[in-house]
Amino acid sequence: MHLHFLGICGTFMGSLAQLAKSAGHQVSGCDANVYPPMSTQLEKSGIELIQGFDPAQLQPAPDLIVVGNALSRGNPCVEYMLDQKLPFTSGPQWLGDNILKDRHVISIAGTHGKTSTTSMLAKILDYANYQTGYLIGGVPQDFGVSAKLGSTAPDGNQYFVIEADEYDTAFFDKRSKFVHYHSNSLVINNLEFDHADIFDDLSAIQRQFHHCVRTIPSCGSIIYPADNSAVSAVIEQGCWSQKQTFGSNQADWQFQLVADDGSQFTLANNATGERGSVNWDQLGLHNVCNAMAATVAACQVGVSLQQACSALSEFVGIKRRMEVIYSDQQLTIYDDFAHHPTAIKTTLDGLRAKVGDAQILAVVEPRSATMRLGIHQQVLGSSVEMADRVFWYQNASVDWDLSQVAEQTLSTASVSMDIENLINQVEKTIVDNQAASKLTHVVIMSNGGFEGFHQLLVDRFK
């Protein structure tokens, strides 16, 4: 079957296209901007890429058009598709019906930590020789690719781990993506207000999460933190599956920090008394919680706690999640995919616990749809309190004044509207620190390309 993907260079759609190719389909696709790293992954897979949305690419018509959720009415390909009554579906619908329907599916949902937890779980199952398939909204450095079809595990099941997004499915299907996934187990890491471009408030998000809870079979599991009131409110609306909680003293699963920065900790199953230890390169309490969620999910399908802890101790991480992109004796620069004040805070808290009195510079571009709308501006200032110096970047799409946030920031803070000016400010601060023999850690926080800032800054110190 010839499948043509509209919006193929998005993380989800590009990964899905690779799964379709692995499943034996002829695959092509288009996007407004065909660029690395996804374009490189797709080309290596033998997938034809077309720049732009000229309807001529739909002549002759493919067998099925898979429409990404970034596409809307008015797009030339969408209008031609509808006018000509060409067969079409959404990415999540195609994935659910053609890849996931007959698999044992473990879905990872929540406001924060989906990519990390999904990658950790895929690592654990791979370590235990489960031959798992996966689709991850990032590139796990343990595997090098964002999606894999997988095969049959020694127990006869075909396992699939998927990052389950609450964002809407397509312009013609406003349900969240995760309702399509035929999940056997559902992890809900946490829940906060986000995606203000499509959700009015937290209760609207909770409603979608409960729709997903309703799809989990009675023999399946819902895995969630015991002390998150927003998640508990979802479960209290009705739950027909087995429940496993983690985190608090009353939870089924608990953790204990051995190192304050989260690099060493123990996990315990309260029902059996079994304990395991993890010693890894990741930082922060948020990653400890992600690891616990992944471990609980793995143990539900027969992996031992010891296997899970051994796998996590070898976990490398995900590109753009506190990824070190430059390091010398005095300077370390990280790329972090920050999209929400809570994610910013937990990341900087973890780094502070690791580096002690060393200088931390946070360079932040509030680029997510919710932050661009100014929804979180009252708490952005407090989210960076662990940094010694904060550089806010006001890009053209932020239509509210970031100087208000800079004034609320307890650390020294400034706002730039020009990339060259921003680079010069950050470089001068680093050089001044080096002259004073201060170790410096620079965390670049953005969920986008940041107009090439990462590489421009690295080039100043190579």
Tokens for 229, please give them: 């009131």
Q: Is 84 helix (H, G, I), strand (E, B) or coil?
A: coil
CA dist 226 and 246 (Å) reads 6
Instruction: Please list the rounded mean pLDDT of every run of 10 residues in the chain (462 residues).
Output: 95 93 95 78 88 96 96 97 98 97 96 91 96 89 88 94 93 94 95 76 92 96 94 96 90 93 93 94 88 96 96 87 88 85 84 90 78 60 84 79 73 85 92 90 86 89 84
- Among 264, 250, 90, smallest CA distance to 181 is for 90
Q: Is 356 exposed, middle or buried (0-12, 13-18, 19+ CB in 10 A)?
A: exposed
Contact 342/380 with Cβ under 8 angstroms?
A: no
**End-to-end distance of the chain based on CA atoms, in angstroms?**
48
Residues sharing a CB contact under 8 Å with residue 440, sequence separation 6 or more, in sequence order: 330, 331, 332, 358, 359, 360, 361, 429, 430, 433, 434
Tokens for 119, please give them: 């990658």
Q: Per residue in 18-72, pLDDT tens?
A: 999 999 999 999 999 876 667 778 888 899 999 999 999 999 999 999 999 999 9
Tell me the pTM.
0.84
Residues sharing a CB contact under 8 Å with residue 33, sequence separation 6 or more, in sequence order: 9, 51
Q: What are the backbone dihedrals phi and psi of residue 85, each rounded to the nearest 5 degrees, phi first?
A: 55, 45
CA dist 16 and 122 (Å) reads 17
CA dist 193 and 202 (Å) reads 5
Tokens for 252, please give them: 């089924």
pLDDT at 323: 87
Contact 25/47 with Cβ under 8 angstroms?
A: no
Contact 8/49 with Cβ under 8 angstroms?
A: yes
pLDDT at 231: 96
Question: What domains can be seen in the chain, in order of their start residue?
Answer: 2-93 (3.40.50.720), 102-313 (3.40.1190.10), 323-461 (3.90.190.20)
Residues sharing a CB contact under 8 Å with residue 443, sequence separation 6 or more, in sequence order: 322, 334, 336, 347, 348, 351, 360, 361, 362, 363, 387
Q: Is 365 helix (H, G, I), strand (E, B) or coil?
A: coil
Provide the 10 A C-beta neighbour count for residue 202. Answer: 15
Q: Is 250 exposed, middle or buried (0-12, 13-18, 19+ CB in 10 A)?
A: exposed
pLDDT at 38: 75
CA dist 369 and 189 (Å) reads 21
CA dist 276 and 433 (Å) reads 41
CA dist 40 and 174 (Å) reads 30
pLDDT at 370: 56
Helix (H) / strand (E) containing 444? strand 440-445
Tokens for 383, please give them: 């989210």
Q: Is 219 helix (H, G, I), strand (E, B) or coil?
A: coil
* Number of residues that make up the chain: 462
Helix 285-300 to helix 305-313 angle, to the nearest 10 degrees?
140
